[in-house]
Amino acid sequence: MMNLNEISGQRQLTFMEKFDYIREAGTEAEEKAAQTIQRELESFGVDSHLEEFVFDTWKITEAEFTVTQPYEKTYRVAGYMRCGNTPEDGVEAPFFYAENGDPISLSKAAGKIVMVNFPMDAEMYENLVKAGAAAFLTITGTPIDMGEDLNPVERNLRGVADTPIQGGIIHHADAIEMVTNGACRARFKLKQELKTVKSHNVVARIEGSDKAQEILTLTAHYDSVPAGKGAYDNMAGGAIIMEICRYFRVHTPRRSVEFVWFGAEEKGLKGSQAYVGAHEDELKNHQFNMNVDLAGQLVGGTVLGVAAVPQACTALENMGWEVGLGLRTINGIWGSDSNTFAWKGVPAMTLNRDGFGMHTHYDTIELISPWSLQRSAQLLGYIADSLGNAEEIPFPRTIPEELMEKLEQYFAQ
């Protein structure tokens, strides 16, 4: 049984302090972080290697929104990536607030720059195209935001193949001003370009003893969004699996355990997709993926999103009872790297803890708790130790058909 006293939350926090900077995928900062992870592994005697991969990403070079009638004012706007470019001079058209994008409102959208309340999804985008909209805006933020929070952040348009209209994001306060002042005509310009960049996965393996041919994976992504330093999302996850790696370096399990710090998760799970592609021949030996994404804040609850048969949820809940650490399970797919493993037929889970500030400048180490890090590492470590040393994995290596259908839809976006 795992010795929980060997798990240190303070050591994890000290490790996280080395990453107090933005680590956008494909940048020198992300590569610096990968090298720092390698040095940490080397410090306690674990060899690792970098697996380089390339991916295409959109870079917005210009986004501008100006009300032209009955007054003229240029507002802060961010663009939607993956929705193409406006004409060189932009799109100038009547402006219309369509609220939630209901059919009655959209019946008036033809030829207009249409503003709707919520982030754009594939269904709403298709409705706007059918309605004949010339461009779109979505609203972000709250009426009480101040300072940096007034700056909208770029988003990805997902699940759409053809993109005849382009869009942006505007802050709630500016949306209120426009509607209050009767904005009726506007101009929107968006320019973006497709770039090929490189990233890295950091991979380390602890070879098992008598069941070494069977592999468990412990994973977390280490990149961040451009808006924040990504302590909660997700350097805390990286620290948790580092602490467990340190434990298994001394306490060798029966099964092999591979530790992977993924790059470019925030760009669409690019790192985990590169990993399963590079390791395709050995995936048949992978028994279970234990991923961490969003962790380390003190106030919150722990959820395991489990993409596997229901028996896996029961087994994991039983382990929680055994170790006396609270959790609840959700049997379904999760918006993180565990999806990639499940998509390839490997049962998987993501450990997720409630928290604040994801994808914002508030996501800093000041909100991270060593107590929370320690508990999550103890829980995940106990699960990994139990599975790593069991005579048999206590649930079948199967992905239910209904979950696989959802995964196919997820990766088709």
Average pLDDT over residues 207-214: 98
CB 34, CB 52: distance < 8 Å: no
Whether residue 93 has pLDDT greater than 90: yes
Average pLDDT over residues 209-235: 97
403 within a domain of the structure (yes/no): yes
Question: Do 9 and 81 fall into the same domain?
Answer: no
pLDDT at position 19: 98
- What CATH number should be reported for the domain holding residue 223? 3.40.630.10
CB 104, CB 131: distance < 8 Å: no
Whether residue 100 has pLDDT greater than 80: yes
62 within a domain of the structure (yes/no): no
306 within a domain of the structure (yes/no): yes
Whether residue 413 has pLDDT greater than 80: no
64 within a domain of the structure (yes/no): no
Average pLDDT over residues 304-330: 98
Whether residue 158 has pLDDT greater than 90: no
Percent of the chain, pLDDT > 70? 100
190 within a domain of the structure (yes/no): no
Question: Do 175 and 208 fall into the same domain?
Answer: no
Whether residue 328 has pLDDT greater than 90: yes
Question: Do 378 and 268 fall into the same domain?
Answer: yes
Confidence band, pLDDT 50/70/90 cuts, at residue 1? confident
Confidence band, pLDDT 50/70/90 cuts, at residue 185? very high
65 within a domain of the structure (yes/no): no
Average pLDDT over residues 239-260: 98
Question: Do 293 and 218 fall into the same domain?
Answer: yes
Average pLDDT over residues 13-34: 98
pLDDT at position 161: 87
- Say how many domains are in the chain: 2
Mean pLDDT across the chain: 97
pLDDT in tens, 46-62: 999 999 999 999 999 99
Range of the domain at 259: 4-57+197-412
Question: Do 264 and 386 fall into the same domain?
Answer: yes
Average pLDDT over residues 321-327: 97
Q: 212 is written with which tokens?
A: 């070494």
263 within a domain of the structure (yes/no): yes
Measured CA to CA, the distance from residue 358 to residue 221 in angstroms comes to: 14
Whether residue 412 has pLDDT greater than 90: no
pLDDT at position 24: 96
Give the DSSP letter string of 324-387.
Answer: T---EEEES--SSTHHHHHHTT--EEEEEE--S-TTSTT-SGGG--HHHHHHHHHHHHHHHHHH
Confidence band, pLDDT 50/70/90 cuts, at residue 368? very high
Question: Do 209 and 322 fall into the same domain?
Answer: yes
pLDDT in tens, 102-126: 999 999 999 999 999 999 999 999 9
Question: Do 280 and 322 fall into the same domain?
Answer: yes
Whether residue 339 has pLDDT greater than 80: yes
Question: Do 342 and 365 fall into the same domain?
Answer: yes
